[in-house]
């Protein structure tokens, strides 16, 4: 499963979760409404006709409502009447003048469906008659519903089915649209990954996201053109500098070695030679880092002994007139153990040489440099440690987070260009390894390189 599929799968799952949350919240709101309605006395908001009937009594053949009955009617803005068996009003209170005082069976049957003219009514059967309570028009809405029993359950099942069908339809349409967007976004995400890796990008400029595809194509072309221009410029500069630089080095060395010349002239020639060598190393570093960055450096991998490789590098550094201020040591973590890895010997030699040179350059007052080789079943470890002044915590964090820093020293006129450690990172990355920077106790810098044995 690639990154785009994982992204859209999480997107779909999150949307389904939102739908479930939506339904849960709505169910909770409806339940809350009914709970509030129950505790808010909504269930008993209809006129309490039975209670009212108890307050209307018959004394000496006359119906009489007590004070509480009158209060109940006034509070509800209602009227009341009692009909005898013939439909004649035998008792009334607040009864509107426009309403008749006698009703036949048909009239009673009609308003028993809850409306008398425009007045919504409630009825209650008493032993001595029919109690009718009328409310103000618009105060209460009465509905009469009638269903055949055989249709009740199918209706309930139908409502539930419609509800779930709507939910499933909504989820289906969303997944369908998300899949269409995924198909359109997949190439875009792949293109962004290719751009980040420095690879060329070309997307079809069609569909709903054609403008984004066109923008990525344009950005990819611009970046590739820019990178190619930079690489060609560095190659051209390196080629153009090589010949005159070789002549400067040759003549400077010749002047420096000529005994008949004044001492001052020979010293000046030595300064020219040393700075020319720095310039030569800088050009070589620029050339190598460009080749590694754009995968133009051919990797000649073969199996070799890393211990022997490290010995050769240490010997070359010692033979290259290393100052007496520096003490260079080499050791094996497991002496006598046969170790072999697969890699490019030239690049790994350059890696160790750059690490040693970094220790020398950033500790001009001298230090002890230790190189050790170790291994386990699958990993070969190169460790370069110095006891110099080390680096600050912020610089150490920058090194371990793969940030480019121009130097591990404070910026001075003699500050290095910082390509040495960048080339080390590139070589380690080419060999699928890991580089770690740590502080040496009590002071100094430790660089550990972990490379796979195969």
Q: Is the pLDDT of residue 327 over 50?
A: yes
Q: What would the mean pLDDT of 274-299 be, rounded to a whole number?
A: 72
Position 369 confidence tier, pLDDT thresholds 50, 70, 90: very high
How crowded is the C-beta side of 138, counted as CA atoms within 13 Å?
Answer: 0
The whole-model pTM stands at 0.48
In a domain, 281, yes or no: yes
Provide the pLDDT for residue 231.
67
Provide the pLDDT for residue 197.
67
Q: Is the pLDDT of residue 100 over 50?
A: yes
- In this predicted model, what pLDDT tens digit does every residue of 260-269 receive, in sequence order? 888 898 889 8
Q: Are residues 246 and 389 in the same domain?
A: no
- In this predicted model, what pLDDT tens digit does every residue of 188-247 receive, in sequence order? 777 777 776 667 777 777 766 677 778 878 887 777 777 777 667 767 777 677 778 888
Domain boundary among the residues 293, 312, 341 is at: 293
Give the domain CATH number at 251: 1.20.58
Segments of 320-378 assigned E as strands: 326-332, 341-343, 367-375
Q: Is the pLDDT of residue 304 over 80?
A: yes
Cis amide bond preceding 442, omega within 30: yes
Phi, psi values for residue 372, rounded to 5°: -135, 150
Q: Are residues 36 and 152 in the same domain?
A: yes
Q: Are residues 17 and 165 in the same domain?
A: yes
Q: Are 52 and 69 within 8 A, CB to CB? A: yes
Secondary structure class of 100 (helix, strand, coil): coil
In a domain, 204, yes or no: no
Instruction: Give the C-alpha distances (Å, rounded to integers) separating 396 from 300, 356, 404.
Output: 32, 18, 11
Q: Is the pLDDT of residue 383 over 90?
A: yes
β-pairing verdict for 367-375 and 326-332: parallel
Question: Can you tell me which residue has the tokens 């030569």?
Answer: 280
Q: What would the mean pLDDT of 277-288 be, rounded to a whole number?
A: 75
CA dist., res. 323 & res. 172, Å (int) = 75
Out of 158-162, 225-229, 368-372, 434-438, least confident range: 225-229
Q: Are residues 346 and 312 in the same domain?
A: yes
Total domains in the chain come to: 4
Provide the pLDDT for residue 163.
82
Out of 87-96, 384-393, 402-411, least confident range: 402-411
Provide the pLDDT for residue 83.
92
Q: Is the pLDDT of residue 448 over 90?
A: yes
Helices and strands per DSSP (H, E), number in the chain: 11, 14
Q: Are residues 150 and 122 in the same domain?
A: no
Containing structural domain, residue 24: 3-41+146-187
Q: Are 334 and 410 within 8 A, CB to CB? A: no
Q: Are residues 121 and 157 in the same domain?
A: no
Q: Are residues 321 and 176 in the same domain?
A: no
- In this predicted model, what pLDDT tens digit does every residue of 15-55 receive, in sequence order? 777 777 877 888 888 888 777 766 655 444 468 888 899 99
Q: Are residues 371 and 446 in the same domain?
A: yes
Beta bridge partners of 102: 88
Q: What would the mean pLDDT of 277-301 be, rounded to a whole number?
A: 71
Q: Are 114 and 135 within 8 A, CB to CB? A: no
Q: What would the mean pLDDT of 381-397 be, rounded to a whole number?
A: 87
E strand or H helix that includes residue 299: none
Position 415 confidence tier, pLDDT thresholds 50, 70, 90: very low
Q: Is the pLDDT of residue 62 over 90?
A: no
Provide the pLDDT for residue 186.
74
Provide the pLDDT for residue 300.
79
Domain boundary among the residues 293, 328, 346 is at: 293
Position 408 confidence tier, pLDDT thresholds 50, 70, 90: very low
Of all residues in the chain, the percent with pLDDT exceeding 70 is 86
Give the domain CATH number at 376: 3.30.565.10
- In this predicted model, what pLDDT tens digit does every residue of 151-189 receive, in sequence order? 778 888 888 898 888 888 877 877 777 777 777 777 777
In a domain, 256, yes or no: yes
Contact partners, residue 55, CB within 8 Å, separation at least 6: 65, 66, 68, 69, 72
CA dist., res. 375 & res. 103, Å (int) = 110
Provide the pLDDT for residue 30.
81
Provide the pLDDT for residue 144.
66
């Amino acid at each position: 499963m690639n990154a785009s599929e994982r992204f859209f799968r999480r997107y779909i799952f999150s949307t389904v979760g939102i739908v479930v949350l939506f339904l849960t919240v709505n169910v909770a709101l409806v339940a809350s409404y009914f709970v509030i309605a129950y505790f808010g006395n909504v269930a008993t908001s209809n006129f309490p006709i039975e209670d009212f009937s108890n307050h209307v009594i018959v004394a000496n053949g006359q119906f009489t409502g007590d004070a509480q009955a009158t209060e109940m009617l006034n509070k509800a803005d209602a009227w009341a009447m009692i009909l005898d068996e013939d439909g004649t009003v035998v008792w009334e209170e607040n009864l509107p003048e426009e309403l008749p005082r006698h009703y036949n069976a048909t009239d009673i049957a009609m308003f028993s469906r809850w409306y008398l003219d425009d007045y919504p009514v409630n009825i209650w059967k008493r032993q001595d008659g029919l109690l009718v309570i009328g409310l103000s028009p618009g105060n209460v809405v009465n509905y009469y519903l009638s269903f055949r029993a055989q249709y009740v359950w199918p209706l309930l099942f139908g409502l539930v089915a419609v509800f779930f069908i709507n939910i499933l339809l909504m989820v289906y349409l969303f997944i369908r649209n998300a899949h269409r967007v995924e198909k359109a976004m997949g190439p875009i995400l792949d293109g962004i990954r290719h751009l980040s890796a420095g690879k060329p990008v070309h997307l079809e400029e069609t569909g709903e996201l054609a403008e984004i595809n066109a923008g990525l194509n344009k950005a990819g072309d611009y970046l590739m053109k820019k990178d190619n221009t930079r690489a060609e410029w560095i190659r051209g500069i390196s080629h153009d500098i090589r010949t005159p630089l070789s002549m400067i080095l040759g003549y400077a060395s010749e002047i420096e070695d000529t005994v008949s010349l004044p001492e001052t002239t020979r010293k000046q020639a030595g300064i020219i030679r040393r700075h020319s060598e720095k310039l030569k190393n800088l050009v070589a570093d620029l050339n190598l880092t460009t080749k590694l960055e754009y995968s133009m450096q051919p990797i000649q991998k073969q199996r070799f002994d890393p211990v022997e490789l490290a010995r050769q590098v240490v010997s070359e550094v010692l033979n290259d007139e290393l100052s007496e201020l520096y003490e260079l040591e080499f050791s094996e973590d497991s002496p006598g153990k046969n170790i072999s890895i697969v890699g490019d010997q030239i690049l790994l030699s350059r890696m160790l040489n750059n690490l040693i040179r970094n220790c020398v350059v950033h500790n001009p007052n001298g230090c002890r440099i230790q190189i050790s080789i170790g291994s386990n079943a699958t990993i070969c470890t190169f460790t370069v440690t110095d006891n110099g002044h080390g680096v600050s915590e912020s610089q150490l964090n920058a090194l371990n987070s793969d940030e480019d820093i121009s130097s591990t020293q404070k910026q001075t006129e003699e500050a290095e260009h910082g390509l040495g450690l960048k080339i080390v990172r590139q070589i380690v990355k080419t060999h699928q390894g890991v580089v770690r920077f740590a502080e040496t106790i009590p002071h100094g810098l430790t660089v550990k390189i972990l490379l796979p044995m195969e």
